[in-house]
Amino acid sequence: MVHKLIQIGIAASSNPKPLHKALEKAVRFARKLAEYKDEVILLTGGGGGLMTVVSKEFSERGGMVIGFIPLEIEKITIDHPRWNPYNTIEVFASSSFQARSIPMVRSSDVFVCLGGEAGTLIEVLVAYLNAKPTIVITDTGYLTDKLKLLVDDEGYLDTRRIVRIIFEENPEKAAEKAYIIGKQAIKGKVED
């Protein structure tokens, strides 16, 4: 049997002052996800805002965090608002904020949206177009809450019906679902 850790990617606001509701949900998500730290690696866009919050909570509980660092923040220092000292591994993506999202999303076995604005929304769309199972945490106060209005009754974004988007208000349930779906994705890859 081949063993592979489940790679759970997140889309999240990089605003240094995240909305309170989203902040609280991000902390709860990370703490629950850390219960699976021996089987899960967390992938993020590198740092700032909710990404740093989730990285901190997950890594302080023994989890491994891989940050995909865009060109714009490769050389930042500790006083920068996007500074993230909780990345276990940093991958210099050699590309812009938006472009670094593509390898991060494509490397994910399952993708979770924790709330954010246009950049976070783009990452969810990239996940959809790459058939990545995606969970969107709702009621965060961010633009991504409106994603629910864009899907059909079965959770698909368009007529291609590439992958169903799962909406979950409870961050602990979102973490559990991400783990279960990721485990199924890994099992499917191993058996192929």
The DSSP annotation for 115-172 comes to --SHHHHHHHHHHHHTT--EEEE--SSSGGGGGGGTS-TTS-SSTT--SPEEEES-HH
**DSSP one-letter string for 77-98:** -TTSTT--TT-SEEEE--S-HH
Closest CA to 10 of 112, 125, 134: 112
Burial grade of 171 (CB within 10 A; 0-12, 13-18, 19 or more): buried
CATH code, domain carrying 47: 3.40.50.450
Q: Is residue 118 part of a domain?
A: yes
Please report, rounded to a whole number, the percentage of residues in the chain having pLDDT higher than 90. 82
Quote the CA–CA distance of 99 and 136 in Å, as a whole number: 21
pLDDT at 192: 38
Q: Is residue 180 part of a domain?
A: yes
pLDDT at 191: 47
For the question of whether the overall pTM of this predicted structure is more than 0.75, the answer is yes
Span 53-69, average pLDDT: 97
Q: Is residue 51 part of a domain?
A: yes
Q: Does residue 167 register a pLDDT over 50?
A: yes
Quote the CA–CA distance of 122 and 28 in Å, as a whole number: 24
Do 116 and 142 form a contact (C-beta atoms < 8 A)?
yes
Tokens 């409870």, located at residue: 170
Pairing of strands 165-168, 64-69: unpaired
- Domain range for 135: 6-191
pLDDT at 80: 86
| pLDDT tens readout for residues 19-58 | 999 999 999 999 999 999 999 999 999 989 999 999 999 9
Structure tokens at 97: 């904020």
Q: In whole numbers, what is the pLDDT of the chain averaged over residues? A: 93
Q: Is residue 85 part of a domain?
A: yes
Q: Does residue 3 register a pLDDT over 80?
A: no
Count of structural domains, the chain: 1
Q: Is residue 1 part of a domain?
A: no
Q: Is residue 141 part of a domain?
A: yes
| pLDDT tens readout for residues 76-91 | 888 888 889 999 999 9
pLDDT at 1: 37
Please report, rounded to a whole number, the percentage of residues in the chain having pLDDT higher than 70. 96
Q: Does residue 146 register a pLDDT over 80?
A: yes
Span 117-131, average pLDDT: 97
More confident residue, 5 or 94: 5
Q: Is residue 30 part of a domain?
A: yes
